Structure 1
């Protein structure tokens, strides 16, 4: 056995120990960061469906204390008519926080701070960390503001809306030695970790190809296309923020904004940060990327309110001869095909051509994916220890890079050669400029 071999049981025992709060000396934090108090203080920005769910996950943890909330729409029901769906926004979120604090202490706590301006939240000196769960077009601006104010950040995937924003975020994280967790929670899931360990430790032999199956995009309006006055209470100008202020309609607001490139990258960029992230992780390309990318067979919706693909495929080639298909035409999840068989995983399911590899007693080998369990707990543990989270900023950025390149390839109608080390398109200045184009509406540059 190699001297570097990680004993799996020992690793998992250590990981379980880390679930408890860790107290460390100030000298270990670096950059003059204050030691988190007994409970890590957190501000949550963006309280739609996903933000509210992560908030609930935080409220289950004894060492998390949510003290500030921000949303530009204090109360809404996402895609439902008012009163017909779950209550979302900062008003019901505040009720959740206050109820959790009272249950914890047996008496009402200090009321949670609420604002519609993320800068007011970030500027609070009593915050240790910020959760960013806004639509994609706000991720970079808010994350960079938080990092520059000395906060650690948990940001939902995809880590940023535009390629250049992703570079800016991971470089800022590195420069400030900040703790950053991407909300790609599949990395903390036992089945995805099992799959990554089997593949990366060579049990399928040399990997020949990968299939990354993603859901299709919107082929029809997902709500009313009537242009109308934004609902009462919504600061729509601030919701649009750094992106163009398009006429308001339900079909591209709450939940459905991803269909419009001004605000998101469609279902493609919504899901690529999950399944392609696992694909990269398992073959050791989490800090690398493909050498060639080409969009294949993209179809667009017949409505002009959306401009993201319905069906799509991104054909990629990697060093060593590995090919991959990121596509709506293959089974959803991630499948690796090697010289000794195949393995497929998706949420809640895993299958392998060699069932013995999936046995719980099977020793998967030297490379271990990381701690299994709560993704938000991993973030809090790392805020204390200053270790890297299981889903760091740069790895998240590189996981979605094939999606960004796919859009450029589709726009220019040609394949692209990619240098992952320098993050540049080879011998194609037009493609490189288009990839790295980044414009923001004033005053949110």
Structure 2
């Protein structure tokens, strides 16, 4: 399969935002036209398996598979072996990072592992494709950005909606004033598809290294409804649908508002929880974010008047966007040509995986760079602060702090379990 190269990146980037001065990141090594990129995957269940398939389809060599569940790891190896040589298997990501022949890692683990693995991968000289949400905490996200910049690594956040035409088109219409001045944004996220009611503690399966699965998270009794897909519904590992789908739809809101390097200044609202069920995260919520320019964004979960997706409301029209769907008012707005030279051209990507690989070669920042992923994840985390505290908070997007609010500020970071500190 033809290897991605610098020229393909330059063609793809022809529509890069004119004011987006993406710095050049010095490469660890220069890829030749016939060089194949060597990738290792950390976490290969569900979305992780999908990522393995996408990277294989892009023409790279998957040379390593790492998972703390040996059965899951074996499944990942089998996916790769169908297309070529079987990759080396690891149960400990640290051993994988020691390998000199790996150019990049794809991290598709529970969220509580994202920061530590990304930071250590950058220090090991490897580029990183990290699934969304980028981090479990705001402070972790900033440390991830710092590591990427310090070690001159390409880090792509897996918020792949940025590489879909309908979302680019929606944000182009909004950013170029086709709906007038933006007055409001409405974002809908799904109800929690949680695992059901609480059951007794279970024995740890022999194939799972549960202590390694927990990693820096605090020790808790094992239950099948805590691990694998269900990690999303426990505060120690994730943030519910707020971070699961918020990292998609709130990310598009940030893009459309031109807030990739900033965020809201205040958040308020209400949330409902269901303590009898086997999860800790929100069951329903309705939150309002306020930006410094006065724009208000309402986020709804389990709200009858708010559908999944992102809606931009302007003085001259609206743009509603979700996967595979773009609706505009006026209707003809969706037919607007967006290639005119006088328009502000946003970064354009048609394939999130390929964009990352192209940027590994060109050393330009990817479409959902670590800073962007961090800022979008921050919006999600702030919503969870309000939900959990049951009161409004203020936020300073410059200092990345909750001024005068020690309780909220304490939620911006977490204590790691030994020996992972």
Establish whether residue 35 from structure 1 lines up as the match of residue 56 from structure 2: no
Q: Give the structure 2 partner of residue 81 of structure 1.
A: none
User: 1:419 is paired with a residue of what secondary structure?
Assistant: coil
User: Within 1, Cα distance between the matches of 2:39 and 2:267?
Assistant: 39
Q: Give the structure 2 partner of residue 94 of structure 1.
A: 77
1:104-123 alignment to 2 at 5 Å?
A: 109=85, 111-123=86-98
Establish whether residue 421 from structure 1 lines up as the match of residue 398 from structure 2: yes
Q: Is the CA contact 2:135–2:141 (under 8 Å) kept in the aligned structure 1?
A: yes
Q: Give the structure 1 partner of residue 196 of structure 2.
A: 222
Q: Is the CA contact 1:152–1:178 (under 8 Å) kept in the aligned structure 2?
A: yes
Establish whether residue 410 from structure 1 lines up as the match of residue 381 from structure 2: no
Q: Give the structure 1 partner of residue 44 of structure 2.
A: 47
Equivalent residue pairs, number: 400
Q: Give the structure 2 partner of residue 125 of structure 1.
A: 100
Q: Give the structure 2 partner of residue 341 of structure 1.
A: 317
Q: Is the CA contact 2:145–2:370 (under 8 Å) kept in the aligned structure 1?
A: yes
User: Within 2, Cα distance between the matches of 1:95 and 1:430?
Assistant: 47
User: 2:109 is paired with a residue of what secondary structure?
Assistant: coil
User: Within 2, Cα distance between the matches of 1:281 and 1:302?
Assistant: 35
Instruction: Answer with 300-309 or 373-382: which moved more.
Output: 300-309
Q: Is the CA contact 2:349–2:367 (under 8 Å) kept in the aligned structure 1?
A: no
Q: Give the structure 2 partner of residue 378 of structure 1.
A: 355
Gaps of 5+ in 2: 1-7, 16-23
Establish whether residue 245 from structure 1 lines up as the match of residue 219 from structure 2: yes
- The counterpart of 1:391, out of the listed 368, 378, 381, is 368
Q: Is the CA contact 2:65–2:77 (under 8 Å) kept in the aligned structure 1?
A: yes
Q: Give the structure 1 partner of residue 67 of structure 2.
A: 71
Residue 165 (structure 1) shift? 0.6
Q: Is the CA contact 1:29–1:35 (under 8 Å) kept in the aligned structure 2?
A: no
Q: Is the CA contact 2:196–2:277 (under 8 Å) kept in the aligned structure 1?
A: no
User: Within 1, Cα distance between the matches of 2:29 and 2:330?
Assistant: 50
User: 2:83 is paired with a residue of what secondary structure?
Assistant: helix
User: Within 1, Cα distance between the matches of 2:10 and 2:363?
Assistant: 20
Residue 397 (structure 1) shift? 1.1
Q: Give the structure 1 partner of residue 5 of structure 2.
A: none
Q: TM (normalized to structure 1)? A: 0.85
Instruction: Answer with 381-390 or 227-236: which moved more.
Output: 227-236
Q: Is the CA contact 1:147–1:176 (under 8 Å) kept in the aligned structure 2?
A: yes
User: Within 1, Cα distance between the matches of 2:405 and 2:234?
Assistant: 27
User: Within 2, Cα distance between the matches of 1:95 and 1:16?
Assistant: 35
Q: Is the CA contact 2:242–2:384 (under 8 Å) kept in the aligned structure 1?
A: no
Residue 113 (structure 1) shift? 0.7
Q: Is the CA contact 2:112–2:237 (under 8 Å) kept in the aligned structure 1?
A: yes
Q: Give the structure 1 partner of residue 251 of structure 2.
A: 277
User: Within 1, Cα distance between the matches of 2:266 and 2:145?
Assistant: 23
Q: Mark the CA change 1:124 to 1:320 in structure 2 (over 3 Å): closer, same or farther.
A: same
Residue 411 (structure 1) shift? 3.5
User: Within 2, Cα distance between the matches of 1:242 and 1:322?
Assistant: 38
User: Within 1, Cα distance between the matches of 2:94 and 2:232?
Assistant: 24
User: Within 1, Cα distance between the matches of 2:227 and 2:11?
Assistant: 44
Gaps of 5+ in 1: 1-10, 19-27, 76-88, 102-108
User: Within 1, Cα distance between the matches of 2:230 and 2:9?
Assistant: 40
User: Within 2, Cα distance between the matches of 1:297 and 1:137?
Assistant: 25
User: Within 1, Cα distance between the matches of 2:293 and 2:195?
Assistant: 42
Task: Calculate the aligned-residue CA RMSD, in Å.
Answer: 2.1
User: 2:225 is paired with a residue of what secondary structure?
Assistant: helix
User: 2:82 is paired with a residue of what secondary structure?
Assistant: helix
Q: Mark the CA change 1:302 to 1:223 in structure 2 (over 3 Å): closer, same or farther.
A: closer
Residue 428 (structure 1) shift? 2.1
Q: Give the structure 1 partner of residue 4 of structure 2.
A: none
- The counterpart of 1:323, out of the listed 281, 287, 296, is 296
Q: Mark the CA change 1:226 to 1:412 in structure 2 (over 3 Å): closer, same or farther.
A: closer
What per-residue deviation string (whole Å, max 9, x for no partner) do you get for residues 49-107 of structure 1? 00100110011112x111011001021xxxxxxxxxxxxx2212112212212xxxxxx
What per-residue deviation string (whole Å, max 9, x for no partner) do you get for residues 279-331 of structure 1? 0101101111111111x220001326421111012211112220001111211
What per-residue deviation string (whole Å, max 9, x for no partner) do you get for residues 367-418 of structure 1? 2232332211000000000000000111111112122222323343331221
Q: Mark the CA change 1:29 to 1:263 in structure 2 (over 3 Å): closer, same or farther.
A: closer
- The counterpart of 1:149, out of the listed 111, 124, 127, is 124
Q: Give the structure 2 partner of residue 205 of structure 1.
A: 180
Q: Is the CA contact 2:312–2:320 (under 8 Å) kept in the aligned structure 1?
A: yes
Q: Is the CA contact 1:314–1:403 (under 8 Å) kept in the aligned structure 2?
A: no
User: Within 2, Cα distance between the matches of 1:371 and 1:283?
Assistant: 16
